[in-house]
Each structure stands twice: as structure tokens, then as C-alpha cells.
């Protein structure tokens, strides 16, 4: 499979024009330098007026991937048991902070 730039992938699937991508990239870099924790894709979604979930669903479709909403999934006990207590507590704290 050939590698495709994210800029071209977004343009080919009407998720962002090359100009929109460039503008968002520049604005995102400024935001990150100012302390923002947003990913570039989250930033692009917000700038386009889309929720992150909707944008990621569209991106998954463009990539031919299945979109998984992890918040709505119930992981198997075996997988859940492989998560260390330290990571589980941190993730629980993170979710409480943002709620």
C-alpha cells in the first residue's frame, strides 16, 4: 500500500481542502505552543465545525476502517485485566477531570 499524506487524504475525501489543512496546521502549531493538548485531527474537526466523533467516523470511512466507539464497548475481562492499575487509575482521573 502506498503512503498518502494526511493532507491529500483529507482533500481526496472532502474532509479539508489543502488550503484549510495548511491554515489549520499553522493555527494548531500556535495553539500547541501556547499549551493546547489537542491533536491536529481534533483541531481540524473543531475548525470545520464538526464533533471529533463525526470527523473520525468520516476519516475511518475514507481509510476503509471500521469506526469503533470505545466508550460504548465493553471489553472482555481478559483484556481489562491486562491494564495495569496505574494506567486504569490515571485514565479514571483524566475522565473525571474532563467531565
pLDDT at 97: 45
Q: Is 69 a domain residue?
A: yes
Low-confidence ranges of the chain (pLDDT < 50): 94-99
Residue 42 resides in a domain? yes
- How many structural domains does the chain have? 1
Q: Radius of gyration of the chain from Cα atoms?
A: 17
Q: How far apart are CA 5 and CA 46, in angstroms?
A: 20
CB 55 within 8 A of CB 41: yes
Residue 89: give the domain boundaries.
6-98
What sign results for the dihedral spanned by CA atoms 34, 37, 57, 51? negative
Question: Does residue 1 lie in a domain region?
Answer: no
pLDDT digits (tens, 9 = 90+) for 35-58: 999 999 999 999 999 998 899 999
Backbone angles phi, psi at 58, to 5 degrees: -65, -40
SS3 39: coil
pTM of the full predicted structure? 0.67
What gap in Å lies between CA 28 and CA 47, rounded to an integer? Answer: 10
64 lies in some domain: yes
Amino acid at each position: 500500500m502506498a503512503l498518502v499524506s494526511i493532507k491529500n487524504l483529507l482533500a481526496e475525501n472532502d474532509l479539508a481542502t489543502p488550503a484549510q489543512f495548511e491554515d489549520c496546521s499553522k493555527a494548531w502549531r500556535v495553539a500547541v505552543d501556547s499549551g493546547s493538548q489537542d491533536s491536529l485531527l481534533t483541531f481540524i474537526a473543531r475548525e470545520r465545525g464538526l464533533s471529533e466523533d463525526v470527523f473520525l467516523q468520516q476519516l475511518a470511512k475514507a481509510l476503509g476502517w471500521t469506526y469503533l466507539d470505545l466508550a460504548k464497548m465493553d471489553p472482555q475481562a481478559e483484556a481489562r485485566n491486562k491494564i495495569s492499575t496505574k494506567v486504569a487509575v490515571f485514565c479514571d482521573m483524566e475522565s473525571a477531570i474532563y467531565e
